[in-house]
Structure 1
Amino acid sequence: MWIKNARIFCEDGRFRLGSLRMETGRVQTLRLASEGWYFEELGEEQAPEEDAPSPASFEGEQQEGEDCLDACGGLLIPGLIDLHFHGCLGEDVCDGKLEGMRRIARYEAENGITAICPATLTLPEEELCQVLHTMSEWRRMQEPEEAELVGINMEGPFISKAKKGAQNGAYIRRCDVGTARRFLEASGGLVKLIGIAPEVNPGFEDYIREISSELRVSLAHSNADYETAGRAFRAGAVHVVHLYNAMTGLSHRAPGAVGAVFENPAVTAELITDGVHIHPMMVRLAFRQLGQERAILISDSLRSAGMPDGRYLLGGQEIEKRGKLCTLVPDGNIAGSVSNLMDCFRTAVLEMEIPFADALLAASRNPARRLGIEDAHGTICEGKLANLVLLDQTLRIRRVFREGREVRGENSKNV
């Protein structure tokens, strides 16, 4: 199948007029004009260069009977990748129910998130291992209309009670290599990230150095100061869970873990850009400090995403959704997000003044790199999976393709 007359997003941050052909689930052929424009320039009258190929010039490569979609100048972007979320539609991956996981993955795909790395909650070890095993079984039987399960992000249980947020403090425990390896084995190798609060885990540097050859270690729900966080990064931790949230903040006398993140160029950082968790100015500050390479947009969505206002459960605790806000019922602490990653991407661009290219790379290429799947995911290139989203100029979804298969069309119900 061909898609022609599209403005195709390229890794340099520009859109170029072009066409592409999808075959056997991958981008087989990509034809691009030489001139490109940033998203912020697309509303301006820009004449293409004389040598820019027109969509008609690609039609000679179209085989007889082959489908061709005219994008009519729509924006073609890579499918998004959410490496930290818990659920939606009343389902949570930690429920351990196969059909619930499938509902989650279909919802994500329909919303332009074509690859997922769900996060686990802080639960008893035996229960976590069972959830991980079920997810590994699900991975082997995934259906084409589901977002691809590309990893698992273990947010707990090696976190701090002082910064537990909405995690269940009853099941927090000390880190050890043996437990981490049992998690990895139960998941069939799907666990890609595992969190730690270094300040409450004696010997954390040895633990990080040993497990880093098998898993990527992240700073998660931590009360670590600037110095301790820096030691964790120097030992080999490479990622931080939801920057600013459930961690020590940035101050002129105490830079905190946030300061250590900004200062360490090998560390990637998650940002929840739902309009609730972080003030827009602090999001802009993070992008200036992290650049185009290190920021990663996440949703951190809960089972209440895509659901009406009301009360739901999170790891055995009651939460309440009101509009875009979701809180723990007893104390009112923010519990997580009710927005999917596409919504967070739109919010970053349209409400937080994050440049389109920066936000999109943070929701596609950068998570692919952190998970080690950039050979197949994250950008539109020949040979990569044909995970594509066609947007209109207002960033609303027109179509979604997962490995070349259309999972959402022009007339689909807006989910």
Structure 2
Amino acid sequence: MNQQFGGRQRFANGKVFLDGVWRTGLDVIAADGIVTEIVEAQTEQHGHIASGHAERRASVDAECRIDLQGRMLIPGFIDLHVHGGGGFDVTSGTAADVAKAARFHASKGTTSWLPTTMTAERAVTEQAVQNIRQAMLSGTGGAEIVGIHLEGPFLNPARCGAQPVDRMRMPSQEELDTYLRLSDHQVRLITIAPELPDALAVIRYARSRGITVSIGHSDATYEQVRAAVAAGASHVTHLFNGMRPLHHREPGVAGAALMLDALTVELICDGIHVRPELIDYVFRTKPQEKIVLITDAIEACGCAEGRYQLGGQEVDVRHGEVRLATTQDLAGSMLTMDQALRNAVQFSGLPLASVLPMLTAHPARQIGIADRKGSIAPGKDADLVVLNDKLEVEAVYVRGKQVSASPN
């Protein structure tokens, strides 16, 4: 299925995931990186198209027919929270490093992503957003960069997780404005602790600039979370990790995230950050359209065990877990989106059709790109993934161009 073509492409003879259901007997046609048509499958009789129109025959001759051989054709995965991969770090790396991370994750089915910065010195973050923007403008040859996720620096040291406490700062509209200017206004998502001084004002300002605001690394009470929602917060960063846990008299961030339908939650579905049974519980209790699967992957993702970097901090990878070398706190993951999909189906027992939107349509909606990403439909980008019956990625197309299985 290793096919490249500059004109029209016809994805045929597969199971297509359309509008939340599986459809057969349909061909998906793409041209110039856009899905143009979804039509009834071609039928040929004695070497001629059944319609018999000569112009139809000429059009078909000009197409590249991609025979899916009964495999599944799905929208590409969209990862809103990823710090690196394939040996490359987003925060401390160059624009070329960001592009290499994009190629690695594309090989696992991710077609769009938000490179995610760690809390760092201001100068480091300023350089990081410029590097991400440069990679975005140059193109990555892999997953498309659709914006930037700032995970910090406006976080609460009490719930720091793997974020460095000494680099955290109070919420500042001026600092956020700097990142917007340096990135050409490409910040799509920001994680913030809403209980900090001036946080609600920054949340309101971020929303006014079209940024999705996520609550994370926060010690907020239930009422403080409600105030953040009123100010415009609509997202929760890696549910259960880096936040005040649920208590029966003080629901905290975790409890509010489960109870408030205005909030969409991220889940790291690796079975390490959140126990599989609890993931199943969230799937059964939270409205499924309010769940987004992420990787929180770091540069070590896809690499051998050993010592790596995460935004300038040393981390150790052992037995599939990433931990800070100094404190042994969990520090990101080795997860890829294709594995997150397989895990979610295994942990929950939900049908594939119920889980897929958590990696496609839901994240697209959360960052305001659902008009062109997250589903297969005419007019949307031809970001397509071919899965076999083991839910393994067999081919990836970003805007109609097949991505190499090799990240480099």
Confirm or deny a common fold (TM above 0.5): yes
Call closer, same or farther: CA 1:413–1:232 in 2, change over 3 Å. Answer: closer
Identify the residue that residue 204 of structure 1 maps to in structure 2. Answer: 199
Query: In structure 2, what is the Cα distance between the partners aligned to 1:379 and 1:55?
Result: 26
Letter of the aligned partner of 1:5 in structure 2? N
Which of the numbers 67, 75, 79 marks the counterpart of 1:78?
A: 75
Identify the residue that residue 37 of structure 1 maps to in structure 2. Answer: none
Task: Give structure 1 regions of 4+ aligned residues with deviation exceeding 3 angstroms.
Answer: 13-17, 53-62, 412-415
Which of the numbers 26, 47, 56 marks the counterpart of 1:18?
A: 26
1:157 CA drift (Å): 0.4
Question: Is this contact kept in 1: 2:283–2:348, CA < 8 A?
Answer: no
Query: In structure 2, what is the Cα distance between the partners aligned to 1:264 and 1:276?
Result: 25
1:352 CA drift (Å): 3.9
Call closer, same or farther: CA 1:171–1:55 in 2, change over 3 Å. Answer: farther
TM-score, normalised to structure 2's length?
0.91
Aligned length: 390
1:230 CA drift (Å): 1.5
1:59 CA drift (Å): 7.6
SS in 2 for 1:320: strand
Question: Is this contact kept in 1: 2:105–2:407, CA < 8 A?
Answer: no
What do the CA deviations read for 1:26-85 (whole angstroms, capped 9, x no partner)? 1111026xxxxxxxxxxxxxxxxxxxx676598865522422122111110000000101
Call closer, same or farther: CA 1:196–1:159 in 2, change over 3 Å. Answer: same
1:253 CA drift (Å): 2.5
1:148-167 maps to which residues of 2 (within 5 A)?
A: 148-167=144-163
Letter of the aligned partner of 1:212 in structure 2? R
1:371 CA drift (Å): 1.0
Which of the numbers 281, 288, 295 marks the counterpart of 2:291?
A: 295
Query: In structure 2, what is the Cα distance between the partners aligned to 1:89 and 1:262?
Result: 33
Which of the numbers 14, 17, 28 marks the counterpart of 1:6?
A: 14
Query: In structure 2, what is the Cα distance between the partners aligned to 1:168 and 1:269?
Result: 23
What do the CA deviations read for 1:121-151 (whole angstroms, capped 9, x no partner)? 00111221111112112211104x3211001
SS in 2 for 1:206: helix
Q: Which runs of 5+ in 1 are unaligned?
A: 33-52
RMSD (Å), alpha carbons? 2.0
> Is 54-63 or 201-210 further displaced after alignment?
54-63
Query: In structure 1, what is the Cα distance between the partners aligned to 2:329 and 2:297?
Result: 15
Query: In structure 2, what is the Cα distance between the partners aligned to 1:68 and 1:277?
Result: 42
Identify the residue that residue 47 of structure 1 maps to in structure 2. Answer: none
TM-score, normalised to structure 1's length?
0.89
Query: In structure 1, what is the Cα distance between the partners aligned to 2:371 and 2:136?
Result: 19
Letter of the aligned partner of 1:272 in structure 2? I
SS in 2 for 1:304: coil
1:354 CA drift (Å): 3.7
Call closer, same or farther: CA 1:59–1:407 in 2, change over 3 Å. Answer: farther
Question: Is this contact kept in 1: 2:92–2:312, CA < 8 A?
Answer: no
Identify the residue that residue 376 of structure 1 maps to in structure 2. Answer: 372
Call closer, same or farther: CA 1:159–1:383 in 2, change over 3 Å. Answer: same
1:234-313 maps to which residues of 2 (within 5 A)?
A: 234-313=230-309
Question: Is this contact kept in 2: 1:9–1:16, CA < 8 A?
Answer: no
Letter of the aligned partner of 1:19 in structure 2? D
1:284 CA drift (Å): 1.8
Q: Which runs of 5+ in 2 are unaligned?
A: 1-8
1:96 CA drift (Å): 3.5
Query: In structure 2, what is the Cα distance between the partners aligned to 1:365 and 1:396?
Result: 20
SS in 2 for 1:358: helix
Question: Is this contact kept in 2: 1:83–1:367, CA < 8 A?
Answer: yes
Question: Is this contact kept in 2: 1:21–1:28, CA < 8 A?
Answer: yes
Call closer, same or farther: CA 1:95–1:206 in 2, change over 3 Å. Answer: closer
Which of the numbers 387, 394, 399 marks the counterpart of 2:395?
A: 399
Identical aligned residues as a percent? 35
Letter of the aligned partner of 1:242 in structure 2? H
Letter of the aligned partner of 1:31 in structure 2? V
> Is 128-137 or 351-360 further displaced after alignment?
351-360
Identify the residue that residue 122 of structure 1 maps to in structure 2. Answer: 119
Identify the residue that residue 30 of structure 1 maps to in structure 2. Answer: 38
